Chain A
């Protein structure tokens, strides 16, 4: 067993559990591991003010910018039903000092919990109800503000004020209907600046901004479906035109499990395009943890398992690994641990590039506040500590063939928690998949973030009275609801708008504008769709932002129509509008050297140019001739004649 090659073991165990890359995975693979996923989609609402105070929403600060700092420590409290929440207790163990950086412009005494909440912002409530109606949810009779505990410090009160607006709705995807559990209106949390050792720093700019959370049932059965569902909800939210856009305005938590696994929440996924890889990897991580569990259970019973742990004297070992020598120099303690029967498991595959021991090192960081690298194991893939050290440890522990060892280094004050953390995680191996929230990386893998909080962290907000929602009020808001996203998809298809434009059009919510241009100016929808989904998208990508108000596009088409100018020049005009956002349409046309020429005049030139076309090669086709003639006529034609119509004449 001492001869175990961790790298080889990692590869072998990956094959053993049947891991496949996502691009090679089929529905059969997901059915085999029982892939299951649900979503919690967060979307900031566009309001002038924050949800529970009168601070302006949407004014941000840089990480190092602040007018004052405030310090808090969080303590777990009981839920309404008299239970302590698991996360709460874990967070308490971490003994974090939380620092809030506030600036006067966007935070008042409410944000730092020195003032009770003011009445809920009516604008936010109204928009949330409209979004709930658009999601076809059952609207509650009375909104009750609930405190949802967060002891990580991301909210200075230690809880998020949140209220359910509606429950039990559904969304229609291409191949299935997905059920919604609920939609709530909540206050957004702080943004983290840093988290080093026992100090975590937040800024309070985003704190308190109104947000809705749409939660689905775990109805998704493969990674692409999850993305489709998430896009749908995001487009739906945007279709109302009442939400914020831009970085961080929409985020989602993705819940994933596999057959026999448990609900794990991947937090704060900023972009839906990351969802497929993340959910794929997470389902297989759970599948791998179950394989590890089975192997361990085959070796021994959980009740007989006992970890050995001992402080070691650095002088008795030879360490060359810089993090360890640095730790010794700092005066950190070195602790060796023997994990009986964990041989071959620590280097077991869990995620691409991440063996099982990764679960330990991240818990040490999060719970015991020990910065990484914080440990080494007898099965490290990158052999950071020489094998001799572990031979010595095995002798010291009188370890069995199948045992594995960990060494970690930590300040004395953190050692006790660290040992508990390792023991706790090791014991969880017998159960399979711990309930936790995980942080996503760009490569699709995740790391431990927190213990998953349960319903036990809810508590009625004793500072707020319930808000009744009368049926008349709800019906008056129902009038503002846009058509369903599914209907918008269908309309775009019927119009013959190219399918590759849908995501851009729906995610930016340009559909209503397209519809207006089509209906009021009588311009072919296919042309308008492509104009937005291809031309505008291209320029938007080049310039990063659209420098003018979107109504200007309507105005441009309106201008062309009323001046009897053909729409074919619109593409060129759009480029100029990006270059000169304030220039009027007439000047743009001058800039483009546009001259109004009578349609008949252009057509009359066709035969002359056509005759002039002299093929220089024998294999010249009619198409080549068409292109050549059109090329010569294009600049004078744009704005004067529909180019398709002209092409027909040239043919």
Chain B
């Protein structure tokens, strides 16, 4: 394929560049009705308009030139930039644990993408060592890029591939696995891997970053160090999500893949364990368990991989006045499972009942979870609850809606027998349902109250 000399330009802007024979990465002298401009022509992001040409001027800044103002343009030189993280060979240190980093994409390691103007993942042990050299003091690292997708594009196919990969790596004798992942659906993957990879002998740590690694204040480096430490040295052999504790660069938490949720669109400390405490705190010095009980690291390799998933599962987030056609269309489209996200203790309106009955009759498995996020489904309290159970909706305890969705897909991948599905759903694999909610499992402090303000002032957020 011939080289693209006009990367990202289209329409009139492309015509203008072609007219004057000026290429992307060419040094250009541009005469316009707004004066003279000179600089290097940069690629243009695909979604930007076709009315401007981007120049990097000698002071290092970028400016756009309105093509309607251009009266003349000349290319006086050419130098293509090569954006590359310095690649250095990752040092091997005898005695340090062997950790495998599986890449799925996301912002944990990224570089600029001119096509979209956003950042794209960059990833190799050498690149990682080049940008976070401290990793070499923690472990011996190998990496493998499995997919390059953003978090929102992760799905059942990827869960299955990841689970199988984890199985292989464990058999090969790895000391710990880290998975780099976009943060949006990190908790879905956390749940999926918990169900698909049971009886783990080593830690499987999911990690992401809320600020891409092309920023000096990125949380990527510290998250990676924490994840490598947890995977290589930690004693908790479970599927864990490793992200910032407070928003400050101080420590991270290890959350169970089944109890964690992304709770803020952009905060660093966005991941929180719901209805319980995190399993542990993590610093660069090591893992400090918070929960007394966890599955400890073992030397055997007896992992059980159950890589199944039926993607004919949907979620219905109930809203007041919801019409039954929502459920009918799901049934009509051949879905086999529905996870309800109900109000309060787990409710939907009466108008929906006939549709619920039809779903049950046609073999659609229905489970109830909560919009309140915290707390248990209690369907015995009101008549509505009892009615719904009678019509076939199964309460999921305090299982998080996203976890229930993943678990139902996983269960339906194995069987469609209602009793068997129900057994799988309601038998906790790793605290996806817990027996009790500790007093400190629900702490959403309200700003403004004096004691909270005092706390915030004293303790770094």
Contacts and interface: CB of A to CB of B under 8 A. Distances in A.
Contacts of B222: 73
B460 A69 contact: yes
Interface in B70-91: 81-86
B387 interface: no
B266 interface: yes
B28 to A, nearest CB: 14
Measured as residues with beta carbon below 8 angstroms from the partner, the interface class of chain B is 35 or more
Given A138-B36, A141-B64, 9 more contacts: A68-B456, A68-B461, A84-B86, A113-B217, A140-B37, A141-B65, A167-B35, A455-B59, A466-B54
A178 B453 CA distance: 53
Interface stretch (A142-150, A317-325, A494-502): A142-150
Given A142-B65, A164-B63, A460-B117, A81 B83 contact: yes
B61 A468 contact: no
Interface string A141-183: 1111011110100001111001110011000000000000110
Given A138-B37, A462-B117, A468-B52, A67 B60 contact: no
Interface string B418-457: 0000000000000000000000000000000000010011
Contacts of A147: 215
A17 B216 CA distance: 43
A68 B112 contact: no
Interface stretch (B242-250, B358-366, B395-403): B242-250
27 contacts: A69-B248, A70-B460, A71-B248, A72-B217, A73-B222, A77-B218, A78-B84, A78-B85, A78-B214, A84-B86, A88-B216, A109-B266, A138-B35, A138-B36, A138-B37, A139-B34, A141-B63, A142-B63, A144-B63, A149-B216, A156-B217, A167-B63, A462-B112, A462-B118, A462-B214, A469-B66, A471-B66
Nearest to A469: B66
Nearest to A470: B66
Contacts of B57: 164, 167, 182
A157 B216 contact: yes
B114 to A, nearest CB: 9
B250 to A, nearest CB: 6
Nearest to A454: B60
A426 interface: no
A164 B61 contact: yes
A140 B64 contact: yes
B329 interface: no
Main secondary structure of the interface of B (DSSP, over half): loop
Contacts of A76: 216
A81 B111 CA distance: 11
Contact of B216 (A70, A75, A109, A115): A75
Considering residues B62, B86, B111, B267, which has the most beta carbons from chain A within 10 angstroms of its beta carbon? B62
B36 A168 contact: yes
Interface in A443-486: 454-460, 462, 465-466, 468-471, 474
A614 to B, nearest CB: 75
Interface in A60-96: 66-82, 84, 88
B215 A466 contact: no
A45 B37 CA distance: 26
A114 interface: yes
Interface of B: 32-37, 48-49, 51-52, 54, 56-69, 81-86, 111-112, 117-119, 131, 210-218, 221-222, 247-250, 264-268, 453, 456-457, 460-461
Given A144-B61, A471-B69, A114 B267 contact: yes
A116 interface: yes
A455 B34 contact: no
Contacts of B32: 138, 141
A364 interface: no
A68 B215 contact: no
A156 to B, nearest CB: 6
Given A71-B460, A82-B83, A140 B247 contact: no
Contacts of B67: 141
Contacts of B37: 138, 140, 167
A142 B64 contact: yes
B81 A81 contact: yes
A67 B34 contact: no
A468 B247 CA distance: 35
Contacts of A456: 60
B54 A67 contact: no
Contacts of A146: 60-62
B32 to A, nearest CB: 7
Interface residues of A, number: 66
B51 A158 contact: no
B271 to A, nearest CB: 14
Contact of A80 (B68, B83, B213, B266): B83
Interface of A: 66-82, 84, 88, 109, 112-116, 137-144, 146-149, 151, 156-159, 162-164, 167-168, 181-182, 184, 215, 454-460, 462, 465-466, 468-471, 474
A141 B81 contact: no
> Ordered nearest first, which 6 A-B pairs have the shortest CB separation?
A142-B64, A158-B216, A138-B35, A141-B66, A455-B60, A71-B248
A455 B58 contact: yes
B217 A158 contact: yes
Contacts of A137: 35
Nearest to B67: A141
B182 to A, nearest CB: 15
Contacts of B35: 137-138, 167-168
A181 B59 contact: yes
B66 A74 contact: no
Given A68-B456, A167-B57, A142 B66 contact: yes
Contacts of A68: 456-457, 460-461
Given A138-B37, A164-B63, A182-B61, A114 B213 contact: no
A72 B248 contact: yes
A462 B212 CA distance: 10
A507 to B, nearest CB: 28
Given A168-B36, A181-B59, A182-B61, A460 B267 contact: no
Given A143-B63, A167-B57, A468-B51, A80 B247 contact: no
Considering residues A70, A75, A159, which has the most beta carbons from chain B within 10 angstroms of its beta carbon? A75
A139 B67 CA distance: 13
A477 to B, nearest CB: 13
B111 to A, nearest CB: 7
B82 to A, nearest CB: 6
A460 B112 contact: yes
B63 A77 contact: no
B29 to A, nearest CB: 12
A454 B58 CA distance: 11
Considering residues A76, A81, A144, A151, which has the most beta carbons from chain B within 10 angstroms of its beta carbon? A144
Contacts of A82: 81-85
A523 B83 CA distance: 66
Contact of B64 (A75, A77, A144, A167): A144
Contacts of A167: 35, 37, 57, 63
B63 A70 contact: no
Given A77-B215, A468-B52, A67 B453 contact: yes
Nearest to B44: A466
A459 B112 contact: yes
B286 to A, nearest CB: 19
Nearest to A462: B118
Nearest to B64: A142
Nearest to A116: B266
B111 A78 contact: yes
B215 A80 contact: no
A17 B264 CA distance: 62
A585 B57 CA distance: 57
Contact of B48 (A158, A181, A465, A474): A465
Contact of A184 (B61, B83, B112): B61
